[in-house]
């Protein structure tokens, strides 16, 4: 079983839609939860970070962690064409050994 499972999509939504991206993880020891955004032919860049359970909001982005069900989510409100990218979830129990999902490809159609 992989440490992190993520639906690869692809996901296509109209501009302005609410997007929900989800991952599940296997190890209850994971404490750090991250979402990375990766544009085509670029390296991943950190989008959101949460420690332990709960929600975190940053502008149009909200990250949620439910440790009881080992489920992590990223919500994008008022999606924009510039949000079109691949979104990678990641978990860790230290700052070094990150486990990444395979990524969900998102296209926001103008």
Query: Is 58 near other proteins (CB under 8 A)?
Result: no
Q: Footprint of other proteins on residues 61-100 (CB under 8 A)?
A: 88, 92, 95-98, 100
Query: Is 32 near other proteins (CB under 8 A)?
Result: yes
Q: How many CB atoms lie within 10 A of CB 104?
A: 21
Q: Which of 22, 84, 102, 107 is the binder for other proteins (CB under 8 A)?
A: 102
What DSSP string describes 50-89?
EESSEEEEETTEEEEEETTTTEEEEEESS--GGG-EEEEE
Query: Is 50 near other proteins (CB under 8 A)?
Result: no
Which residues make Cβ contacts (< 8 Å) with residue 57, sequence separation at least 6? Answer: 63
Residues lying near other proteins in the complex (CB under 8 A): 6, 32, 41-46, 49, 88, 92, 95-98, 100-103
């Amino acid at each position: 079983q992989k440490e992190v499972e993520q639906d690869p999509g692809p996901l296509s939504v109209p501009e302005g839609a609410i997007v929900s991206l989800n991952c599940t993880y296997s190890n209850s020891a994971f404490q750090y939860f991250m979402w990375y955004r990766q544009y085509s032919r670029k390296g991943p860049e950190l989008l959101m970070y949460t420690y332990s359970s709960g929600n975190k909001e940053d502008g149009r982005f909200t990250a949620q962690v439910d440790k009881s069900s080992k489920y992590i989510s990223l919500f994008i409100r008022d999606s924009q064409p510039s949000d079109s990218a691949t979104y990678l979830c990641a978990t860790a129990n230290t700052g070094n050994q990150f486990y990444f999902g395979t990524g969900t490809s998102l296209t926001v159609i103008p």
